[in-house]
Amino acid sequence: MFNLTFSAAHPLSAYGWDQGFAESFVPYAEQGFLPGRIVRVDRGRVDAVVPDGDGVRTVLADTALVATGDPLRVPCTGDWAALDLANGRSGAHVDGVVRALLPRRTAFVRSTSSKRAEGQVLATNLDHIVICVSLAEPLDLGRIERFLALAMSGAADEGPLDTSAPSPASGAQPVVVLTKADLAGAPEGLAHLVADVESAAPGVPVLAVSSASGDGLDVLRAVLAGGTSVLLGRSGAGKSTLVNVLVGEEVQLVQAIRDRDGKGRHTTTTRDLRPLPGGGVLIDTPGLRGVGMWDAHTGLARTFSDVEELAEECRFHDCAHRGEPGCAVQEAVDSGELSVRRLESYRKLQRENQRIVAKTDARLRAELRRDWKQKQALGRHMMERKRGPQR
């Protein structure tokens, strides 16, 4: 049976194995299964690292026994799994089968691009969510706020959640990494760009790095050491180059961005978990063109904490911040304390998140429909008053 005694010298400790996961694995160890961390998922099969003496080896396992119609509960890169390598072979090149997934502590989830209300889990059991933004193109602060809202939500319904672990909203620390800092020009200009991002990410570390010159990489390595991190961003954000530098070898193909529109080409096609030389593991992901909201109420409140704090000072608790008397949010906009752009971004993401949640919450859907009817009735009433009595 697998030795459950945890120590820093444990062969899986470099991949994030700790006492908490060891305790969760006890029932499976009694059945003769091995723990493994999923490092890659591909068409119903996974690559996972398992203990092998004093080291580890990578095995290929089938996921048919844990297959489910719920997209939030499918095996994902970063998951810890119970693997049956003794009785689970289903093919000449398959080493075993996944019998179960251990409870997840955190996850990054977005809504799918389809019209159905479905979430997609991109990575699990995370300590850091690294949002990569290229300085080779104009900053899109709204997109950064979108990523942050999802990162700070952690998605509490993303499958087998470990309720004894830290809450998913607080378990993963977001970090904004401004890549290609060598293309930002003078130091003063770079400082202004960092300040702009900090204004959209209150309380979140913002690091400017350059894979070409090495600037800022030591700080980033220190942040990522000892935990599990995922790199997220659009194609062309410099993720693949950054992965190669952090891992210390050419593990990802790098392609130039398109000249005509500055957009990147997909060079990463799967989500892969790799150990870092200085400690910790890193999950690289393909470029994300669309990042839809998914039950991000908590993350929106944390991302826009400045707006939320102002809203608490409004005269009316249900203030919509659209000209109501005693609106502290509107007063902050008028005084320049809060930018119009940030308030509009807050409203946009709130509306989108409400629509997504309403698709799966009948009560909220009914409330939104009732609110819409009230607004229509009020609009008709105001129009009738404007027209005056009809003869």
- Encode pLDDT of 289-308 as tens digits: 778 888 888 899 999 999 99
CA distance 285 to 239: 8
CA distance 327 to 323: 7
Count of beta carbons in the 10 Å neighbourhood of residue 36: 28
Averaged over 104-119, what is the pLDDT? 80
- What is residue 302's three-state secondary structure? helix
Q: Is the model's pLDDT at 106 over the cut of 50?
A: yes
Mean pLDDT value across the chain? 84
Q: Is the model's pLDDT at 141 over the cut of 70?
A: yes
Averaged over 320-327, what is the pLDDT? 90
- Structure tokens belonging to residue 230: 């995922």
Reading phi first (left if > 0) and then psi (alpha if -120 to 50, else beta), residue 121 is in: beta
pLDDT value of residue 216:
95
pLDDT value of residue 61:
93
Q: What is the pLDDT of residues 42-98, one digit of tens each?
A: 988 999 999 998 899 999 999 999 988 888 899 999 999 999 998 766 666 889 999
pLDDT value of residue 170:
45
pLDDT value of residue 169:
39
Q: Is the model's pLDDT at 225 over the cut of 70?
A: yes
CA distance 270 to 261: 24
Quick one: DSSP state of residue 126? Answer: -
Q: Say what percent of the chain tops pLDDT 70.
A: 78
CA distance 190 to 206: 12
- Give the range among 160-164, 276-280, 324-328 with minimum mean pLDDT: 160-164
Is the separation of the CB atoms in 268 and 240 below 8 Å? Answer: yes
- Give the range among 102-111, 159-168, 239-248 with minimum mean pLDDT: 159-168
Contacts of 77 (CB under 8 A, 6+ apart): 38, 39, 40, 41, 123, 124, 271, 272, 273, 283
pTM attached to this predicted model: 0.83
Residue 98 is which amino acid? Answer: V
pLDDT value of residue 290:
75
Is the separation of the CB atoms in 124 and 76 below 8 Å? Answer: yes
Q: Is the model's pLDDT at 272 over the cut of 60?
A: yes
H-type alpha helices, the chain: 19-24, 26-29, 141-153, 168-171, 187-200, 217-224, 239-247, 297-303, 305-311, 328-335, 340-358, 362-387
pLDDT value of residue 320:
87
CA 274, distance to chain mean position in Å, is 18
pLDDT value of residue 193:
96
- Structure tokens belonging to residue 271: 């989500």
Burial of residue 354 (CB within 10 Å: 0-12, 13-18, 19+) is: middle
Helix (H) / strand (E) element for 97: namely strand 96-101
Is the separation of the CB atoms in 135 and 180 below 8 Å? Answer: yes
Contacts of 328 (CB under 8 A, 6+ apart): 310, 311, 312, 313, 314
